[in-house]
Structure 1
Amino acid sequence: MNTLKILACALLTSVLFSCGGDKKTDTIPTADGTAAATEAPAAESGPADYDPKRGIGKHENVDVSTFDPALAAEGKKVADVKCMSCHKTTDERLVGPGWKGVTERQTPEWIMNFISNPDPMIDVDPELQKQLELCLVRMPNQGLADNEARSILEFMRENDGAK
């Protein structure tokens, strides 16, 4: 019985430490396959500077005027590897919240900025902080390239009925 408790504690500890991070820099793969280091947004930006329609990040104008099924298919592949161990495409919570309706609740810019670099947004967004209290696990930065983040957004749009 003690061995079972020790194994359970070890598993819980490894899960908690593997899904977080307080990185000050990230690496983003470039077209030539090298990794470019980028500074995370300044930690000084607080709730007063936060734009709840856009979030924090470089994505300002994401064109979603047309639906791209090929891009959505690519997004599904990326999401299957990097997202689906914590999220479902329904409204059911797994580790993180379900994705159903996310593109109706959030702007494309907000989604792209959050999935590209979640840490600064979690630190200041009251809704994300409420989600953190429910889910108990901080969303890890998956190191998504811009094209991967955009393809995941297109997959989320398809999941919400975009055609």
Structure 2
Amino acid sequence: MKVLKTLAFCAFSLALTSCGGEKKESSIPTADSSAPATETTAPAGDNEYDPRRGLGKYDETNVDVSSFDPAMAAEGKKVADVKCMSCHKTTDERLVGPGWKGVTERQTPHWIMNFISNPDPMIDVDPELQKQLELCLVRMPNQGLSDAEARNVLEYMREIDGAK
């Protein structure tokens, strides 16, 4: 049962970014988008959802990606191998969920942290995530990542995208 939960989690964790086959561009706003990011958490159902930030406790003030940490990435790989890789590949190829290649270029670090640490509220309000759910047909489950695990997985994603 734990393996099934892990598979389900991995299936949708990045469906938001690359699920859908041939299309290489994401219509989800990216970190270099011109819209300013809000620093407050909008409650589910609120019309103030910020697609650059997502829903959760993470924002620009508490997710520092100014330098790459190989040790964190190695720990993130260990977590991902157990909780994510049964549904995701490190390439842009879709497995159950989308591949991870390029995710850190399409999404802000705090958006990724908010999504991987608590996907349900974001899936419920983010129109792009809802479109991905329709394509992938699997809702990413909450894997109960600790703050440190989520941050390490983010660092591993950054490594996949060439951070050094």
| TM-score, length basis structure 1 | 0.73
Q: In the alignment, which residue of structure 1 is the partner of 2:127? A: 126
Q: In the alignment, which residue of structure 1 is the partner of 2:56? A: 57
Instruction: Check the 8 A contact 1:100/1:159 in 2, yes or no.
Output: yes
Which runs of no fewer than 5 residues in structure 1 stay unpaired?
Answer: 1-14, 21-40
Q: In the alignment, which residue of structure 2 is the partner of 1:108? A: 109
Would you tell me which structure has more strand in proportion to its own residues? 1
Q: In the alignment, which residue of structure 2 is the partner of 1:46? A: 45
3-state SS of the aligned residue for 2:47?
Answer: helix
Q: In the alignment, which residue of structure 2 is the partner of 1:154? A: 155
Which runs of structure 1 show a deviation greater than 6 angstroms over 4 or more consecutive aligned residues? none
Distance 1:68 1:19 in 2: 29
Distance 2:53 2:79 in 1: 23
Q: In the alignment, which residue of structure 2 is the partner of 1:70? A: 71
RCO higher in 1 or 2 (8 Å CA, sep ≥ 6)? 2
| TM-score, length basis structure 2 | 0.73
Q: In the alignment, which residue of structure 1 is the partner of 2:15? A: none
Distance 1:101 1:134 in 2: 19
Q: What letter matches 1:105 in structure 2?
A: R
Q: In the alignment, which residue of structure 2 is the partner of 1:29? A: none
Pick the structure with greater CA Rg: 1
1:92-135, Cα deviation, whole Å (9 max, x unpaired):
11111110100000000000000000000000111111110111
Q: Displacement of 1:46 after TM fit?
A: 2.3
Q: In the alignment, which residue of structure 2 is the partner of 1:140? A: 141
Q: What letter matches 1:45 in structure 2?
A: A
Instruction: Check the 8 A contact 2:8/2:87 in 1, yes or no.
Output: no
3-state SS of the aligned residue for 1:49?
Answer: coil
Distance 1:96 1:47, change over 3 A: farther
Say what the alpha-carbon RMSD is for the aligned residues: 2.0
3-state SS of the aligned residue for 1:66?
Answer: coil
3-state SS of the aligned residue for 1:134?
Answer: helix
User: What percent identity do the matched residue pairs reach?
Assistant: 80
The aligned length equals 127
